[in-house]
Chain A
């Protein structure tokens, strides 16, 4: 039978001795997920601002669209992106398949819906007069939008943390467009599946522990932030 206890002890040894392969994977995972969230922020924020501050036809449909995208299985998105990035796919000429950029772009696409949904809910919860208030105090269009985002700060933070959480814990996209290439595109989740398949359970356990620690840490931050009143209402009425 599998020596689970021995595996766990060895796993802690690996963690304690600072095994370079192990921490290389952790560093890569954190790096890819952070860049992905930053990218998603950059293209998600304007969309969130538009659908929450402007009234136009089809606004509800767009919101519903992003809400439903939150639940897309990561492997499905991974497959779609694989077909797009594959050399015979529409973006194949870029040669992005099995590169870090493919994972980053894939994860950014993956977390964009959750980011937009949480952020637009938070912005909608802000007093609609804040925008006018900032303007009448002299703010430009951009400064006024920033003032609104600041009022929605808790929600904006929540959207980032939730996005990071999803990016770091997903497997499908990283596996299918990253290829799980050792030392280049392997991240915590894909590396766990590799080392489990290879029977190197101590390594898999060590990676699993680190992944859990990171996710746990993020959620502790989340719970602390949730003490804020607005965040609480957001949590209770996510739609």
Chain B
């Protein structure tokens, strides 16, 4: 069974084409991950699937029924989208989670029970009366997830559900995603940047670049055969494509361009893709001697506050994503454009 299908779907804003001739089938019960760099059209594609944006051309089918302006409002009931930027109504947690249920005219007694169940799932039991906007960032996103899963829609759309969260909150949300897919057979489409999420959760992966879907396949395929595209498009953080060569010392060096050469332990040669876990990278203000084989100097180009953690982008010729605790971020006195060294072991680099 096909839950939703996009046929030749194009979306343009003015003369800017954001989604370009996309064909995609979403199978019932699957988790499909959309991977792609920022601005590749993932968010717009999700909004089209959620039927809150109409395509400029092409057909969207929901359970084999073509979506029109007339039936969109009705069909929208069967899917729901969780936005990348946490968006909450300025009211209580209860009102937030109950909103969609109330629109579906669920009777009061059942309503309370369903809200409580959804909150339990995201580990926010008893939070009903709290003002939603006073919660921490991670808790707010969990409310948004609870609000979506409470509806038990056929299709659940998630736009970077854990992008700006610390590992604890991210883990809770990943558990919820897995649980609703397993227990409620909910079909899930999620956009992600996270290597581990993309590898662990989805049944299939669609790779998106410049509005087009370039590859669709199982995670094994994508991270195996298709890995170069994955790296080239920076679809997930810290993936790079390069050429592996043996050094005089018998180790392997991978040239990923812009003068950046990374030492790895894998004995591969030729075209390879690399991945470095953002948590495995160490930051220092000066070049310290250590066992780390890879040390680069660069500038901080982006800072994202994730609550207890901070996510930084450091450009050393190639952009690296680094995740450190907020405490060390403050203690080191880092700012945008601060000069900084990044260091990681050769053994931390995964070669795909």
Contact = CB atoms under 8 A, between A and B. Distances in A.
A and B touch in the complex (CB under 8 A): yes
B94 to A, nearest CB: 14
A137 interface: yes
A138 interface: yes
A132 interface: yes
B52 A135 contact: yes
A151 B76 contact: no
> Which of B52, B77, B148, B151 is packed against the most chain A CB atoms within 10 Å?
B52
A136 B89 contact: no
Given A129-B87, A151-B90, A134 B73 contact: no
B80 interface: yes
B87 A133 contact: yes
Given A138-B151, A140-B73, A150-B89, A132 B104 contact: no
B85 A139 contact: no
Interface of B: 47, 50, 52, 73, 76-77, 79-81, 83, 85, 87, 89-91, 99-100, 103-104, 147-148, 151, 157
Interface of A: 127, 129-130, 132-141, 143, 147, 150-151
B277 to A, nearest CB: 31
Nearest to B90: A151
- The DSSP consensus for interface residues of chain B is mixed
A130 B79 CA distance: 17
Contacts of B83: 129, 132-133
A15 B95 CA distance: 45
Contacts of B87: 127, 129-130, 133
B80 A136 contact: yes
Given A136-B81, A139-B103, A141-B73, 18 more contacts: A129-B85, A130-B87, A132-B47, A132-B52, A132-B81, A133-B83, A133-B87, A134-B99, A136-B80, A136-B157, A137-B99, A137-B100, A137-B103, A137-B148, A138-B103, A138-B104, A147-B89, A150-B89
A56 to B, nearest CB: 14
A140 B104 CA distance: 11
A152 to B, nearest CB: 10
A147 B52 CA distance: 16
A160 to B, nearest CB: 19
